[in-house]
Amino acid sequence: MAERQHIVHPIPAFYDEDSTVLILGSFPSVKSREMKFFYGHPRNRFWQVTAAVFGDAVPETVEERKAFLKRHHIAAWDVIASCDITGSSDASIRNVRANDLSEILRSAKIRQIYVNGKTAAKMYEKYAQESTGRTAVCLPSTSPANAAWSVERLTEAWRVIRAGE
C-alpha cells in the first residue's frame, strides 16, 4: 500500500490573456505529475470529452494539448497547490494549501470557472471561492473513477464550456 506523501503541485497554471474559461481539477494524478501537464492518465477522459465538445481531434502530446487549450481559450489549473496525498486518490487528500487564482483572473478574460468533479468543487468552495468572489460550475468528473458517466454523457454535460464562445 502506498503511503501518503506531501506533494507540491509541479505544473504551472496554463493560460494566456485570451483565456475565457478556467477549468480547475483538484490535484494532478501521479501520471500528470510525471508528464508535467494536466490530465495525463491515459484513462482520464478530459481530452476525449473536450475534443468532442469542440469537434476537434483528440490532442495526444503535451504540445498538442497546450495548442488545443490555447485555440479554445481554455485556462487549466488545479485548486490545490500542495497537500498530503496517497498516489492519485482524491479521497486521501489532507493538509491542503490552495493555489492563488488571482493572477489568472487578473490577466485573462475569464467569464466562468468550471471545476472537474465533486472533489474539485468541494475544495474550490472551501479554499478558493471566498478569495475569488466567484462561484464555480461543477461538471461531472472525467476521471476513470467516475465510471457511471459515459463519454457521451460527459460530452453533453461539458458542452457548457462553449457558451459565449
pLDDT greater than 90 at residue 163: no
DSSP H or E run through 131: helix 129-132
Residue 95: active-site member: no
Q: Give the mean model confidence (pLDDT) for residues 146-165.
A: 91
Structural domains counted in the chain: 1
Q: Of the listed 44, 95, 99, 116, which one is catalytic?
A: 44
CA 36 to chain centre: 13
Instruction: Write down the pLDDT at residue 165.
Output: 56
pTM exceeds 0.85: yes
Name residue 161's amino acid. I
Instruction: Write down the pLDDT at residue 56.
Output: 96
Could you tell me the residue range of the domain that residue 97 belongs to?
Answer: 5-162
Instruction: Write down the pLDDT at residue 95.
Output: 96
Q: Where residue 2 falls among pLDDT bands split at 50, 70, 90? A: confident
CA 82 to chain centre: 15
Per residue in 131-151, pLDDT (tens digit) is: 999 999 999 999 998 999 999
Phi, psi values for residue 12, rounded to 5°: -70, 155
Q: How far is CA 41 from CA 2, 33, 88, 98, 136, in A?
A: 18, 10, 10, 22, 24
Per residue in 84-136, pLDDT (tens digit) is: 999 988 889 999 999 999 999 999 999 999 999 999 999 999 999 999 999 99
Instruction: Write down the pLDDT at residue 122.
Output: 97
Instruction: Write down the pLDDT at residue 164.
Output: 54
Instruction: Write down the pLDDT at residue 1.
Output: 62
- CATH of residue 102's domain is 3.40.470.10
Per residue in 30-89, pLDDT (tens digit) is: 999 999 999 999 999 999 999 999 999 999 999 999 999 999 999 999 999 999 999 988
